[in-house]
Amino acid sequence: MKTILDSLKSRLHGSRSRLVLPEGKDDRILLAADRLISEDIARPIVLGNETTVSSRIEELSLSSDIKVLDPTHSDRIALYGQSYIKSRPRTKARVAEKLISKPLFFAGMMVREGDGEAMLAGVSCATSKVIEAGQLTIGLAKGIRTPSSCFLMIVPDFQGAEKLLIFADCAVNIEPDASQLADIAAASAVSARRILGEPPKVAMLSFSTQGSAQHPSVDKVREAAAMARDRNPDLDIDGEFQADTALIKAVADKKCRVESEVAGQANVLIFPNLDAGNIAYKLTQYLANAVAVGPLLQGFSRPVSDLSRGASVDDIVDTAVLLLATSGQRPVPD
């Protein structure tokens, strides 16, 4: 049976998208780069010491088409430094160039300057470092002030059929306020449209449905839903909903006091905090035998994402596929 990942790979096949991988010291990155080339999904660019990384590629008998760049010896440092200073005028040139010579920041500047379509890191760097580099180089999307993350959840048997869902935020924001939740909802809608290829139906989750319970945490979710709709009037965003109300039409028909375009048909679930999001995705993964792909960072002006430090080669490839699918980039000419 063809899966969503197979469909996304088919969409990316032959696109020649340049994926920047700044952690060239890790064999998993090199093995994933080899897979991406062999399946004609992307043209990976691996950062690191050119001699060391190239030797390791040869030792592992991997594709000679893996491009290796050493940021410390790149002729793009001065150009990237000038670009960086434009957005931060108080930065001295030597400070900017020293920062950009670091792999994470060099990768971000490559994407910012159009020398790569996306950046993927995290097998040896903390999530906070990946986000910091992304914010300082690529920057956040217009109207978004909060970087966040999402998972693609592939549930094999939901009421007798496969169900594709976007879960957010499950990895970054611990206790988002209403404004941050609204940002997470908007960014997740963009991710859903590009990954799922269908209109996003965004449900803001709580232990209450349309005022069935009263609590400050419920007020926060309700306020976030209103803010998200005001900021994004073209999107279907609603809540507060309990999870069953968001997903099951029969339950929504019973519980909803006001008609909703989202209740009972949500494909994007926004959790009120990281406790709820992280617990929910792991329970779904193991109790429902679901596949969790991610976390995928979102809210940036161009694609950048994180990886778990325990990520397998398969995990890296799958996340790369999702990341490139959200890039909205056209094929790169030879």
Q: What percent of the chain is predicted at pLDDT more than 70?
A: 97
Residues 163 and 259 in one domain: yes
At 2, is the pLDDT very low, low, confident or very high (cuts 50, 70, 90)?
low
Q: Does 25 map to a domain? A: yes
Residues 133 and 152 in one domain: no
Residues 112 and 242 in one domain: no
Residues 166 and 124 in one domain: no
**pLDDT, mean of residues 227-239:** 95
Q: Which domain holds residue 232?
A: 148-292
CA distances from 241 to 150, 184, 205, 213, 257 (A): 19, 16, 5, 11, 11
Residues 76 and 98 in one domain: yes
Residues 263 and 312 in one domain: no
Residues 115 and 219 in one domain: no
Domain count, the chain: 2
**Whether residue 10 has pLDDT greater than 70:** yes
**pLDDT, mean of residues 110-131:** 94
**Whether residue 183 has pLDDT greater than 60:** yes
From CA 178, how far away is CA 239, in angstroms rounded? 12
**Residues sharing a CB contact under 8 Å with residue 6, sequence separation 6 or more, in sequence order:** none
Q: Does 334 map to a domain? A: no
**Whether residue 1 has pLDDT greater than 50:** no
Tell me the per-residue pLDDT of 12-70, one tens digit each, with 9 for 90 and over. 988 889 999 999 999 999 999 999 999 999 999 999 999 999 999 999 999 999 999 99
From CA 295, how far away is CA 299, in angstroms rounded? 13
Q: Does 242 map to a domain? A: yes
Q: Does 200 map to a domain? A: yes
Q: Does 34 map to a domain? A: yes
User: Quick one: pLDDT at residue 334?
Assistant: 40
Residues 84 and 161 in one domain: no
**pLDDT, mean of residues 109-126:** 95
Residues 230 and 269 in one domain: yes
Q: Is the peptide bond before 295 cis (omega within 30 degrees of 0)?
A: yes
Q: What percent of the chain is predicted at pLDDT more than 90?
A: 83
Q: Cα 22 from chain centroid?
A: 17
Q: Does 153 map to a domain? A: yes
Residues 118 and 194 in one domain: no
User: Quick one: pLDDT at residue 4?
Assistant: 86
Q: Does 9 map to a domain? A: yes
Residues 243 and 317 in one domain: no
Give the ranges where 14-69 is alpha helix by DSSP (H).
27-38, 50-59
CATH code, 23: 3.40.50.10950
Tell me the per-residue pLDDT of 143-155, one tens digit each, with 9 for 90 and over. 899 999 999 999 9
| Listed range (99-108, 270-279, 281-290, 306-315) with the worst mean pLDDT | 306-315
* Per-residue tokens: 83: 């670009």
User: Quick one: pLDDT at residue 173?
Assistant: 95
User: Quick one: pLDDT at residue 333?
Assistant: 37
At 328, is the pLDDT very low, low, confident or very high (cuts 50, 70, 90)?
low
**Whether residue 217 has pLDDT greater than 60:** yes
Q: Does 281 map to a domain? A: yes
Residue 154 · residue 293 · CB < 8 Å: yes
**Whether residue 332 has pLDDT greater than 80:** no
CATH code, 246: 3.40.50.10750
Residues 39 and 103 in one domain: yes
